[in-house]
């Protein structure tokens, strides 16, 4: 059998020289810059690509790794009018952006990424933001339990109905001051559907906005069980009556 030789889907030079270069914290996404391995970076790229995301928003990125992958997918798709927005308040106790200088590799390689140097809360309250329909959102800013839950709640309202959200740092007890992983349990208890990959770097979950599963309601469950018992008793009696000897 002859095998046809195709070029790789992944471009080694682009990965090493642009996507993984000067990208601190890429390892926290499971990437291995020394060996040109993207880890969950490929998941971020795929989500943007798969959704043909016209509006990608990343909350917090010390190294600009996630927004690079979002934007690269939009570039590769040749999407007209597509936007990638990075919101970073240069704040908090979980390290700070390393791309503040305009001649940083990240800013030079992706000058069209819109950077909003402001907190996520501030951005969510802006008049122009209220019209957003985000196709793909990544949450990686405030790493406290309360702060990350607030980010989810504020930005979920700005999602397009078929959009998806990735949420970083779901691996429990990885750092003493990172508690955002607890937010995932809250969201699941509220009925949100999520696929969690806590073993990839510091863990990433993909969450579908909108509660597709209803919150368990004990009274409703009891009522349903009572109704099911009632119906099966009646059916049993009818069956017994039908098969009784005449």
Ligand X SMILES: C[S@@+](CCC(N)C(=O)[O-])C[C@H]1O[C@@H](n2cnc3c(N)ncnc32)[C@H](O)[C@@H]1O
Positions in the binding site for ligand X (CB under 6 A): 25, 28, 59-63, 65-66, 87-92, 94-97, 119-120, 140-142, 168
- How does DSSP classify residue 33? G
Report the alpha-carbon distance of residue 144 to residue 104 in Å, rounded: 28
Closest to ligand X by CB, 98 or 193: 98
Closest to ligand X by CB, 42 or 87: 87
Beta-carbon-side half-sphere exposure of residue 156 (alpha carbons within 13 Å): 14
Closest to ligand X by CB, 79 or 107: 107
* Phi (first) and psi of residue 56, to 5 degrees: -105, 135
Closest to ligand X by CB, 60 or 209: 60
Report the alpha-carbon distance of residue 188 to residue 194 in Å, rounded: 7
Report the alpha-carbon distance of residue 84 to residue 45 in Å, rounded: 12
Least distance to ligand X, CB of residue 218, Å: 36
- How does DSSP classify residue 29? G
Hey, what's the torsion of the CAs at 37, 64, 196, 198, to 10 degrees? 60
Closest to ligand X by CB, 178 or 187: 178
Residue from 10, 67, 57 nearest 160 by CA: 57
Q: Given 3-state DSSP classes, what are the helix, strand and coil percentages for the chain, each rounded to the nearest 5?
A: 40, 15, 45
Least distance to ligand X, CB of residue 93, Å: 8
Least distance to ligand X, CB of residue 222, Å: 42
Residue 78 — left, alpha, or beta (φ > 0 → left; ψ -120 to 50 → alpha)?
left
Closest to ligand X by CB, 28 or 170: 28
């Amino acid at each position: 059998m002859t095998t046809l030789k195709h070029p790789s889907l992944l471009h080694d030079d682009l990965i090493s020289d642009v996507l993984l270069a000067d990208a601190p914290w890429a390892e926290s996404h499971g990437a291995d810059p020394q060996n040109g391995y993207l880890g969950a970076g490929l998941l971020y790229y795929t989500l943007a690509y798969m959704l043909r995301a016209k509006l990608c928003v990343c909350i917090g990125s010390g190294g600009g790794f996630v927004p690079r992958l979002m934007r690269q997918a939009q570039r590769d798709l040749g999407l007209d009018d597509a936007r990638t927005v990075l919101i970073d308040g240069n704040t908090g106790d979980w390290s700070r952006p390393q791309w503040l200088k305009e001649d940083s590799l990240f800013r030079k390689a992706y000058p069209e990424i819109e950077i909003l140097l402001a907190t996520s809360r501030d951005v969510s309250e802006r008049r122009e933001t209220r019209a957003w329909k985000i196709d793909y959102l990544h949450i990686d800013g405030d790493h406290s339990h309360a702060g990350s839950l607030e980010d989810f709640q504020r930005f979920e309202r700005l999602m397009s109905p078929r959009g998806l959200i990735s949420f970083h740092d779901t691996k429990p007890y990885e750092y003493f001051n990172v508690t955002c992983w607890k937010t995932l349990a809250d969201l699941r208890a509220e009925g949100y559907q999520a696929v969690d990959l806590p073993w990839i770097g510091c863990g990433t979950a993909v969450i579908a906005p909108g509660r597709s599963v209803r919150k368990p309601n004990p009274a409703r469950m009891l009522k349903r069980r009572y109704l099911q018992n009632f119906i099966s008793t009646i059916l049993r009696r009818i069956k017994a009556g039908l098969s009784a000897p005449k």
